[in-house]
Each structure stands twice: as structure tokens, then as C-alpha cells.
Amino acid sequence: MKLALTFTVLISLLLSLGATAQSNLLGNVDLESADMTEAEMSREELVSLLESATPENPLDLENKRLSGLNLSGVDFKGAKMKSVRLNYADLSNANLSGTVLDLAWMLEANLDGAILDKASLFSTQLHKASLKNASLRGARVVADLSKADMSGADMTDANLGADMKNQSMGLMRAVLTSANLNNINMTGAIASRVVFEFASMRNAILDNADFNGAELAGADLTGASVTGLFMDGADVQNTTLKELKGQDDMVGLDTTKNLDEAYLD
């Protein structure tokens, strides 16, 4: 029988557990239920509601079920979207800048080319989502992005770092296990203690980013630009660190964990 966990508790647990435990926990969620797969309104109805929204009076979509809808290109005008369900939805090229997507479920959602600048994605579930070439500049991202495709995304000045003020459910931080981060731009991003295990980060731009304490075991950073990248205490066991650009200007590489087991030039 499926576990009767609240969405808040479940997502908090997902962000504080390892990959195996996350998979086991998701296995206890009925992802085929109407609550997780169906929509309570059509695209046309949603767009009609958004037409009357303003920055001073944004549309309240909290807890709404919008899974599976084709919402490509929709301008959400900073809508309140806490705990919304957007699983398997098409949000490609949508404007979600400034939106609050905390506790939202967006499993396997298509966010290719979407704009999420300065959005809040705290405890958001984006497992296997596609965010190719999406913009998340300055966004707060403490989300499960395991197996997500973020190739070419722009996360300049984004904050993915661990939430040190909220640890009642364990250490909450962004999880990007086995994610595709090739050619991602994370210039100036905060990614301290973030989980990047087995992620592909080939040719990523990581200049002046904070990766202190990050978990990079098994990740591939071949060809990444790392000028000014902070790495103090990061775990680089079996991490590929070859053909790096600006390696001499990295900070803390000599204090990383398991450096003797990393793959270097």
C-alpha cells in the first residue's frame, strides 16, 4: 500500500536522502493517481485567468492540478504556484520568472527554453525534467533535479546551496544526481554541499562559483571552465577533472576529498 505522506514531508525527505533512498521513497508514491497526472482546468481556462492578472495581483495557483497540460509559451506573470502539480506538463519557452514554485511537483516536465529568472524552487520535485537552454539566472533552487537534462541552461548567480537554517528533516540542498549539465553556465552560482554525483558537466562554465563541500563523486567535468571556482572540501572521488580551463585559478582543489582518486590530466 502506498505511503500516506504529505507532499511537504515527502519532498523534504527526498532532498535530504541519497539517490537509492530517494528512489525507494518515490516508489511509495502513487505517481499514476489522478492527483499526480490530471489537470483540473484546460490551457484555455488558465490563459483566460492569467489575462486579468497583474504584478500587483498575481494569479493564485497554489495546490492546483495542472499535470499533463500543454502550457508552452505561457506567461505566468509571477503567479503564486506553491505546491502546484505540473507533472509531465509542457512548459517549454514559458515565462515563469519570479514565480514561487516551492513544493511543486514537476516530474518529467518539459521546461526547455523556459525563463525562471529569480524564481523560487524550494523543495521542488523535478526528477527527469528537461530544462535544456532554460534560464534560471538568480533563481533559488533547492530541488530534486536527479536525472534532469539541463544542458545549455543558464544558472548565472543562482543559489543551489544547502539551506543551513532548515535542517529539521535533514540537510536540504539541490540534488542533481546523474543530471546532464553539459554546457551549463553556472558563473557565480552558489552550489555549496550540492549533490552532483555522476552528473555530466562537460564544457560547463563554473567560473567564480562556490562548490565548497559539493558531492562530485563520479561526475565528469571534462573541458569545464573553472577560473575562480571554490572547491574546498568537495568530494572528487572518481571525478573526471581533465582539460579544465583556468585550473591554476581554482581555489581549494588541494583541500578536496579523495583527490588521489580523481581523474586528472
C-alpha distance from residue 244 to each of 6, 141, 151, 206 (Å): 44, 26, 18, 10
Do residues 147 and 178 make contact, with C-beta atoms less than 8 angstroms apart?
Answer: yes
Residue 169 reports pLDDT greater than 90? no
Q: What is the pLDDT of residue 171?
A: 73
Helical (H) or strand (E) element with 214? none
Give the relative orientation of helices 7-14 and 19-26 as an angle to the nearest 10 degrees: 150
- Amino acid letter for position 91: L
Distance from C-alpha of 265 to C-alpha of 143, rounded to nearest angstrom = 33
Q: What is the pLDDT of residue 135?
A: 98
Lowest mean pLDDT among 19-33, 91-105, 244-258: 19-33
Residues 111, 229, 258, 126, Cα dihedral to 10°: -10
Count other Cβ atoms within 10 Å, centred on residue 261.
Answer: 12
Residue 256 reports pLDDT greater than 90? yes
In whole numbers, what is the pLDDT of the chain averaged over residues? 90
pLDDT in tens, 67-116: 999 999 999 999 999 999 999 999 999 999 999 999 999 999 999 999 99
Q: What is the pLDDT of residue 107?
A: 97
Residue 9 reports pLDDT greater than 90? no
Q: What is the pLDDT of residue 30?
A: 81
Distance from C-alpha of 192 to C-alpha of 142, rounded to nearest angstrom = 11
Residue-wise DSSP of 19-78: HHHHHHHHTTS-TTSHHHH-BSS-HHHHHHHHHT--SSS--B-TT-BBTT-B-TT-B-TT
Mean per-residue pLDDT for 145-165? 93
Would the CA dihedral through 8, 157, 150, 88 be positive or negative?
positive
Q: What is the pLDDT of residue 2?
A: 43
∠ Cα 182 187 193 (to 5°): 80
C-alpha distance from residue 28 to each of 2, 61, 63, 122, 140 (Å): 5, 26, 21, 22, 28
Mean per-residue pLDDT for 182-192? 98
- Amino acid letter for position 110: N
